[in-house]
Amino acid sequence: MLSRNEPAQELINPVAIRDKEIRKGSSFRIEIFELCTQCGARFGIGYFGAMREELRPAEEIEELSRKLIEILAADHLRERQHKGRIDLDI
């Protein structure tokens, strides 16, 4: 457990949040938006937490988009609703 004097070394995992759910979240920063190719649902892909000073590599953002598209397609294949928040830990 961290003491109050130690800085938190928080892992920041990428997530996708459905557009209408983004307003409910606090301190979510969006890197890119992606649409479901089946139903048009819009998701913001990004991270919770403090802003990073350096930018994420374009390849990482593209990989997150591909992963989200695969998850959304699987939802439609299995006839299930999209989640409001999808973890995209790579």
Question: What does the pLDDT read at residue 6?
Answer: 38
Question: What does the pLDDT read at residue 90?
Answer: 63
pLDDT band at 79, cuts 50/70/90? Answer: very high
pTM attached to this predicted model: 0.78
- Is the pLDDT assigned to residue 32 strictly greater than 70? yes
* DSSP-assigned letters across all residues of the chain: ---TTSPP------EEEEHHHHTTSSSEEEEEEEE-TTT--EEEEEEESSPPSSPPPHHHHHHHHHHHHHHHHHHHHTT-PPPSEEE---
pLDDT band at 20, cuts 50/70/90? Answer: confident
Specify the higher pLDDT residue, 53 or 1.
53
